[in-house]
Amino acid sequence: MADTALGIPDHHYREGSASLTLGSGFFRPDSRPSRDCSVLLARHQQQNAEGQLRWLDLMAGCGIRGLRWGLEAVPARAERVELWVNDGDPDRLPCLESNLSGLPMPVRISSQAAEVVLAQAYLEGRFFDLIDLDAFGAPGALIQPVLQALRFEGLLLLASTDGRSPTGHDRAGAVRSLGAAARVHPASWELALRHQLGLLARQAWMLGRGLQPLLCFSEGRTFRVGVRMRRHLQPGEEHRLGLLARCDACGSQVVQILRNLSGWPACRCASGAGRWSVSGPLWIGPLQDPQTLAALRRDPWLREPGAISNQTQRLLERLEADPGSPATVWPTDELARRVGIGGPPPLNQLVTAVRRAGFQAYPSGVMAGQLRTDADLTVLLRLCADLCSEGT
Ligand SMILES: C[S@@+](CC[C@H](N)C(=O)[O-])C[C@H]1O[C@@H](n2cnc3c(N)ncnc32)[C@H](O)[C@@H]1O
Ligand SMILES: [Zn+2]
């Protein structure tokens, strides 16, 4: 029995309705939430679209996403969906062909560089309704050709495993791959997602298209965004690109819209010694679309045993409870430390207190133990201190 790149024995693997051979290439069982979300979005598109659909799994590995789309996202009239499944590694071809051979719809399997698949699609006027780009590293160079091969209102699932640049640990790398300043921030996964969306938005806008994030998440290693490419920009969409500054002394945060950039106010640090660490341009708009998430969660397929994993179920619940806006997020640990109390107040209590004080507040769906709010740090520290004294 051969081993996959991650040491998983090359045997039959089951996930959802799919049963397949993993082959000897890259495969991560832990990425199941991203595959479950891919199937859910494909189902959602299929249920709401008329006519033919064309879906592309561009870096397919063993072909599990295409296989699950074919088995789980098209319950009736399989012929209305055409699947395109590609992996650049020619050694994957026999595995792809065998795994996808039983699907009832037309399936085009190839082993070409993604750049070639997309260039051919462009030359031949072939557009896709859904593209899943599950890349290694930073996918920036493929964004423009991917968007050019996506149909208006089409869906794109984009993964990046480059965590160092967008989290501020490789600042030169961030300038190169994102065209942006990236600074270390406690909400590091969220900033990485916002950088990815900022890059996507700028590329979509260059084509005259709009960008609507549907869902964004990470487990700290891979940063995943699911977006809809709109035919036109929404009014004021350019206001969703901006800069986020964090005081390196007191932790205060300020957001500015790029279009209206007007310098930074002095931070109200007690010491006056704080300097702003500025990240951006990045996406400062919502990370999720609550309507789409609610529709995904209403899908009756979710009631079938094993349709999605428990982990995916919890992820969707977290994302639905957090619209991903405003863009300012604080770890409760940091707030507790700055107030000088032992442990942080329970996040739900803090959310309630901040809402009562007249501000927006949500538990972050992106990183555990973080509060999303438009209240400023002074208010947050006072509310934290009040909660702490109520509890003693
Ligand atoms: C993260 S893995 C895909 C995993 C798969 N989507 C899954 O859910 O299990 C990335 C795949 O992309 C392929 N790949 C890497 N660079 C590529 C390129 N430029 N064009 C096409 N495929 C590429 C690799 O061979 C690898 O199988
Ligand atoms: Zn400060």
CATH number at residue 387: 3.30.56.70
CA atoms within 13 A on the CB side of 337: 7
**Ligand 1 nearest-atom number relative to CA 60:** 6
Atom of ligand 1 nearest to the CA of 25: 27
Domain contains 132: yes
277 part of a folded domain:
no
Same domain flag for 293 and 345: no
Verify cis geometry, omega within 30 degrees of 0, for the bond prior to 331: no
Q: Check whether residue 292 and residue 391 sit in a common domain.
A: no
- Domain span at residue 358? 329-392
pLDDT at 355: 98
- The total domain count for the chain is 2
Phi–psi pair at 258, nearest 5 degrees: -55, -45
Same domain, 294 and 353: no
288 against 76, higher pLDDT:
288
Q: Is the pLDDT of residue 2 over 90?
A: no
Query: 157: CA distance to ligand 1 center in Å?
Result: 14
Asked if residue 4 is part of any domain, the answer here is no
Q: How far is the CA of 113 from the centre of ligand 1 (A)?
A: 10
When pLDDT is averaged across residues 8-21 and rounded to a whole number, the result is 83
Going from the Cα of 77 to the center of ligand 1, the distance in angstroms, rounded, reads: 29
Structure tokens at 390: 């109520």
Mutate to test the pocket of ligand 1, among 38, 55, 59 (most ligand atoms within 8 A of CB): 59
Cis amide leading into 281 (omega within 30): yes
Answer yes or no: is 308 within a domain: no
CA 162 / ligand 1 centre spacing (Å): 15
Looking at the structure, tell me whether residues 181 and 230 fall in a common domain. yes
Instruction: Tell which atom from ligand 1 comes closest to the C-alpha of 57.
Output: 6
* Coil, helix or strand at residue 148: helix
How does 54-69 read in b/e, with b if 16+ C-beta sit within 10 Å? bbbbbbbbbbbbbbbb
Looking up residue 107, the CATH number of its domain turns out to be 3.40.50.150
Q: Within a domain: residue 6?
A: no
Strand order in the sheet with 370-373: 329-331, 370-373, 361-363
Task: Look up tokens 């494909």; give the residue.
Answer: 42
Answer yes or no: is 244 within a domain.
no
Q: What is the pLDDT of residue 392?
A: 56
User: Is 83 within 8 Å of 57 (Cβ atoms)?
Assistant: yes
Across the range 300-312, mean pLDDT stands at: 96
| pLDDT in the model for residue 113 | 98
Label residue 343 by pLDDT band (50, 70, 90): confident
Beta-carbon contacts of residue 173 (< 8 Å; ≥ 6 apart): 162, 164, 165
DSSP 260: G
User: From residue 233, how far is each of 207, 212, 332 by CA, in Å?
Assistant: 10, 9, 36
R_g (Cα) of the chain, nearest Å: 22
Whole-number Å distance, alpha carbon 58 to ligand 1 midpoint, is: 7
Residues 221 and 336 in one domain: no
In a domain, 324, yes or no: no
pLDDT digits (tens, 9 = 90+) for 38-75: 999 999 999 999 999 999 999 999 999 999 999 999 98
Residue nearest to atom 27 of ligand 1 (CA): 61
Q: How far apart are CA 373 and CA 326, in angstroms?
A: 6
Residues whose beta carbon lies within 6 Å of some atom of ligand 1: 25-27, 31, 35, 59-61, 64-65, 87-89, 113-114, 134, 136
- Ligand 1 centre to CA of 172 (Å) is 26
Percent over 70 (pLDDT), the chain: 96
